[in-house]
A and B are shown apart, each in its own frame.
Chain A
Amino acid sequence: MKTMSVMEAIREAMSIRMREDPNVLLFGEDVGKFGGCFGVSAGMFDEFGPERVRDTPISEGAIIGAATGSAATGLRPIAEIMMDDFITVAMDQLVNNAAFMHYMFGGKIELPMVVRTVNGAGVNAAAQHSKSMEAWLTHVPGLKVVYPSTPQDCLGLLLASIDDNNPVVFFEHKIAYGEKGEVSSFDPIPLGKGDIKKEGSDVTIIAYGYQVFRALKAAEQLEKEGISAEVLDPRTLYPLDKDLIAESVGKTHNVVITSEEFKRGSYAGEISAFVAEEMFDSLDAPCRRVCALNTPVPFSAVLENAFIPQTEDIVNAVKAQRE
């Protein structure tokens, strides 16, 4: 048992695999001596050297393209895109190429690659450095999308992502980097398996990424008001652990989904549609979504706080659902 932050857990997972497998390498903007924009790879340059912890020019398309080409030819690259906002620049390489290659080529080429990228609002970074783009990627056949919350989940799921033979997009929330937790296992956690972060009987709050921490606080408050909330963290967005959701909803009969995405076209909407299509008869009330607003992420703290789906918004949604 060891206490680690989310950031340390991510660094540990990369380091474990890089020590074991010389074909695993990390590249991206400023990941080398500088240690990455948030410090995630700090110290790795000293341990693994410039070939394996490799700085790239500011060329997101070429970063993803280089990951694709090197994964197709024997390496297991981890490519870091500094902010998920910048993934738009590399979208062609990720969508038209990495995601589709295995299918287009009839299974001839496998791409064991991970794209790590940083999500989320809360640091006054405004519209181009704060958003949550997971729905852009869960939409695409051929990609697996992982968005864990706790240090233990970050470590285990990143190990599994590196081990996977498909392109995996691995989201990290910039606010969550400092969250600490107990890490007891250094084994991979299979992709596609969710986890109940808190058991409850009245409502299932489905949350992932940093929203898990907000949902847990919401559940605490709700408990005081006599509402028993279960917090379900799918951890992997695709493939989604539908069985765990069905099990939980079968017990609670109410679902609130929270994510930090723009509400319109969100992955939260996809989960909501799945629950409505396949579990309608189990529901006591319609699903509710607690997402960010449909605005660009604003700069000023007052505006940004109004934009972010907060703990109280989750509490309010659960209560409103029961009225």
Chain B
Amino acid sequence: MDVTKEQMRHMYRTMVRIRKFESNAQNDFANGKIPGFLHLYLGEEAIATGVCENLNKDDFITSTHRGHGHIIAKGGDMKYMMAELYGKSTGYCKGKGGSMHIADRDLGILGANGIVGAGQDIAVGAGLSCKYRKTQQVCACFFGDGSTNQGTFHEALNMASIWKLPVIFVCENNHFGISMSQSRHQAIKDIADRAAAYGIPGVAVDGNDAMAVYEAANEAIARARKGQGPTLIECKTWRWRGHFEGDPAIYKDPKEQEEWVAREPVKRFREFLEENGVMTADEMDKVDAEVDQEIKDAVQFAEESPLPKPEDVGKDVYTDFDEEVRVR
């Protein structure tokens, strides 16, 4: 495998960014600073990190309602993300999307998505575009275990497979579709098995191991760039929090939760980097401190940013005219 030490250091920084962004969002939500619905990626950081480390700036991703980690890993700016979570006019979506709808076309981020499974079909379109225009681009499509029971999953994997599109289907199996555990919502254990139905490779990896995810994605992306079509990667992980903030998650088994948290991805990656002489504990602590400062800056930016103007509500519905707004 061709991963460099520099890439591994970058992966560490990405994971820490996600962890600290999400921890901060958790607190800000609890303190009433972030309105709306908030779905946190805590515990799943290794997946977005391992996949996106393989992507170029002009590659595409589709994301989910639990999308902050994907956006950060693809290079999203935490200042604009935080401002969007705060509903400010400087946010990625000018305060029109919020947590579930962050997008950045310049970074190939085709949007977080509040509809479970909807990103799968959109990823097919992005893959079609890459193949049709004969670029070497690919699209990584993130989705959860729950969405593999949606019709979109079947339609998208089928279409991508017959057209051999450069799409990497990344299933983040965090073992819950909202409150329903995987063992209750589907009769299979390994979602990767479903790849067989489409005649494409399916691999299951430890989603809390950043290097395992990196390797699986590396291989799948290489195949995709060579025109060999899509791959389904199942990353087994665990959602630390409830489905959304405010969900007490009474449906979880505390023992299982404890076991998964013990296998937590950031700590494991730290140990890996130290054991392999990639980074020292001091170097990693320094990264942690730098990210703390980035988060503080992002929060300050969000807090100091102006709210949108009510008259802007009618803008951006269409590209070429504004909708009428209410005059009060």
Chain B hits for A70, CB < 8 A: 125-126, 128-129, 132
Q: Given the known inter-chain contacts A65-B120, A97-B115, please indicate yes or no for A59 contacting B159, CB distance below 8 A.
A: yes
Chain A residues, CB < 8 A from B315: 107
Q: In the assembly, what is the distance between CA of A74 and CA of B126, in Å?
A: 9
Q: Does A221 contact B (CB under 8 A)?
A: no
Given contacts A69-B139, A96-B115, A166-B320, 6 further A-B contacts (CB under 8 A): A62-B152, A68-B122, A74-B129, A101-B111, A105-B93, A105-B103
Interface stretch of the complex, out of B6-14, B94-102, B171-179, B247-255:
B94-102
Question: Does the CB pair B124–A66 fall under 8 Å?
Answer: yes
Closest Cβ neighbor of B156 among chain A residues: A62
Q: Find out whether the CB atom of B110 lies under 8 angstroms from the CB atom of A69.
A: yes
Residues of A within 8 A of B139 (CB): 69
Q: Would you call B168 an interface residue if the criterion is a C-beta within 8 Å of the partner chain's C-beta atoms?
A: no
Residues of chain A touching chain B, judged by Cβ–Cβ distance below 8 Å, are 23, 25, 51, 56-57, 59, 61-62, 64-75, 77, 92-93, 96-97, 101-110, 141-142, 144, 164-166, 239
Within the complex, the shortest CB–CB distance from B109 to chain A, in Å, comes to 9
Supposing A57-B158, A72-B122, A106-B316 touch, asked if A65 and B128 sit within 8 A by C-beta, the answer is no
For the complex, give the distance between the alpha carbons of A92 and B150 in Å.
12
Q: How many A-B residue pairs have CB under 8 A?
A: 147
Bound together, the chains give a CA A71 to CA B133 distance in angstroms of 12
The answer to the question of B298 belonging to the interface, with a C-beta cut-off of 8 Å to chain A, is no
Cβ of A23: which chain B residues have Cβ within 8 Å of it?
A: 133
A73 in contact with B158 given A103-B96, A105-B101, A239-B321 (CB within 8 Å)? no
Kindly identify which residue among B96, B125, B155 contacts A73, using a CB–CB cutoff of 8 Å. Answer: B125
Chain B's nearest CB lies how many Å from the CB of A302? 38
Interface size of B in residues (CB-CB distance below 8 Å)? 49
Closest beta carbon of chain A to B82's beta carbon, Å: 15
Whole-angstrom CA separation of A249 from B121 in the bound complex? 45
Contacts of A25 in B (CB 8 A): 132
B317 near A69: Cβ-Cβ < 8 Å: no
Q: By the criterion CB–CB under 8 Å, are B110 and A72 in contact?
A: yes
List, in ascending order, chain B residues with CB within 8 A of A51's CB. 132
A106 to B315, CA, bound (A): 9
Question: Which residue, of A68, A70, A71, A144, has the highest number of chain B Cβ atoms within 10 A?
Answer: A70
Contacts of A110 in B (CB 8 A): 319
Q: How far is the CA of A102 from the CA of B102 in the complex (A)?
A: 11
Most buried by A among B101, B123, B315, B318: B318
> In whole angstroms, how far apart are the Cα atoms of A104 and B104 in the complex?
12
- What A residues does B130 contact at CB under 8 A? 73
Given that A73-B129, A92-B118 are contacting pairs, would A108 and B103 also be in contact in the complex, using a CB cutoff of 8 Å? Answer: yes
Closest to A25 in B: B132
Give the distance in Å from the alpha carbon of A165 to the alpha carbon of B321 in the complex: 12
In whole angstroms, what is the CA distance A216 to B122 when docked? 43
B binding-site residues for A, Cβ under 8 Å: 60, 62, 91-97, 101-105, 110-111, 113-115, 118, 120-130, 132-133, 139, 151-152, 155-156, 158-159, 162, 315-321, 323
A109: chain B residues within 8 A (beta carbon)? 103, 105, 110-111
Give the complex CA separation of A23 and B105 in angstroms: 18
With A97-B122, A104-B111 given, is the CB distance from A65 to B152 under 8 Å? yes
Contact of A59 among B125, B126, B158, B316 (CB under 8 A): B158
The answer to whether B125 touches A67 (Cβ under 8 A) is yes
| B92 and A106 contact, CB distance less than 8 A | yes
Is B316 a contact of A61 with CB atoms below 8 Å?
Answer: no
CB pair A104 B96 closer than 8 Å: yes
Determine if B317 and A102 form an interchain contact, defined as CB atoms under 8 angstroms apart: yes
Q: Which residue of A lies closest to B60 (CB)?
A: A73
**Which residues of A have CB within 8 Å of B118?**
65, 92-93, 96-97
